[in-house]
Amino acid sequence: MTAEEILTELQASFPGLAKSDAQVKDYPAWTVPAQSVRAVCERLRSKFSFDYLDVITAVDWSGQVNPKGYPQSLGQQGSEAAGQPDSQTAQPSSLIPHPSSFPQGRPAAQPAGARDIFELVYLVSALSTGVKICLRCEIPRKEPAAPSLYGIFMAADWQEREVYDLFGIHFEGHPNLKRILTPETQAGYPLRKDYEHVSDRYD
C-alpha cells in the first residue's frame, strides 16, 4: 500500500488531513490538524503497521532571524539592543569587531513566509512495507500544545521531551515532560527565534 492510498483511506475519517507540497527528502508530507495527530498516528500504527517513529521536531516560523540569542556582548544589532547588558560583560570593542560591522546575510525585513506558528514535524515509517510519511502540524506560538504520542511509539517519550526542552511545546498526556538535554536551570527555550540568552554561572 503506497502513501497515496493510505492518505485517501485516512481522509474518509479525518477530513482535516491533506497532502502538503513541502516534501521532506523522500517522505511524502501531509498536513494534519493538531487535535487529530494522535488519532491519525494511532490508526497508522494499528492499521497500516507504521511501527517506527523516526523523529519529532519542530520549526519556529515566527520570521525575522536576528542574533538576539547570542550573548549580549555580541548580539546587539543597531536599535534592536532592547535589553542593554551591564557593561561588565561587554567585550572590549577594540578586541572583537562589533557585529554591526559584519556583513548582514539575512534580510532586515520580516520574510514573506513568516507566521506566528510552530510547526511540528513527525516522520513515521513502516519498516515492514517501507512506506514513509512526514506529518506536519501547525500549532499557535502562544501557549503551544499538542497531543502526546506516548503509548503509540516508544520513541515519542524522549523525542517529545527534546522538543519541549528546546521549543517549549507542551505535549498533553506525556507522563514525564521535563527537560532532557539542557540543565534544569536553563531559562527559556533555546531554539525559539525570540530566545534571549540569560547568562548563568557557567557563562
Partner 1 sequence: MGIILDNLPKIERLPGGGIALTTADFLINWSRNSSMWPLTFGLACCAIEMMAAYASRFDFERMGVFPRPTPRQADVMFVAGTVAKKMAPPIIRIYKQMPEPKFVIAMGGCANCGGPFYDSYSVVKGVDRIIPVDVYIPGCPPRPEALMYAVIKLQQKIRLMKVKNGHGATPLQSAGARKLV
**CB of 1 or CB of 74, closer to partner 1:** 74
Alpha-carbon distance of 161 to 177, in angstroms, equals: 6
DSSP 8-state secondary structure symbol assigned to residue 39: H
**CB of 56 or CB of 166, closer to partner 1:** 166
- Least distance in angstroms from the C-beta of 70 to partner 1: 5
Element (H, E) at 74: helix 72-75
Identified binder of partner 1 from the candidate list 7, 138, 182, 193, rule CB under 8 A: 182
- Least distance in angstroms from the C-beta of 106 to partner 1: 16
**CB of 109 or CB of 202, closer to partner 1:** 202
Q: Phi and psi of 132, rounded to 5°?
A: -125, 145
Q: How many residues bind partner 1 (CB under 8 A)?
A: 15
Alpha-carbon distance of 4 to 18, in angstroms, equals: 11
Strands 18-19 and 29-31: antiparallel
Q: Which stretch binds partner 1 (CB under 8 A): 6-14, 56-64, 140-148, 194-202?
A: 194-202
**CB of 51 or CB of 196, closer to partner 1:** 196
- Least distance in angstroms from the C-beta of 195 to partner 1: 8
The grid coordinates of residue 160 equal 517529545
Distances (CA, A) of 95 to 84, 92, 101, 203: 20, 6, 13, 19
Q: Phi and psi of 130, rounded to 5°?
A: 80, 15
- Least distance in angstroms from the C-beta of 119 to partner 1: 22
Identified binder of partner 1 from the candidate list 97, 103, 113, 183, rule CB under 8 A: 183
Please list every residue from 62 through 81 that binds partner 1, using CB under 8 A: 69-71, 74
Binding of residue 181 to partner 1 (CB under 8 A): yes
User: What is the maximal distance between C-alpha atoms in the chain?
Assistant: 66
- Least distance in angstroms from the C-beta of 71 to partner 1: 6
Q: How far apart are the first and last CA of the chain?
A: 53
- Binding-site ranges for partner 1 (CB under 8 A): 69-71, 74, 181-183, 185-186, 190, 195, 197, 200, 202-203
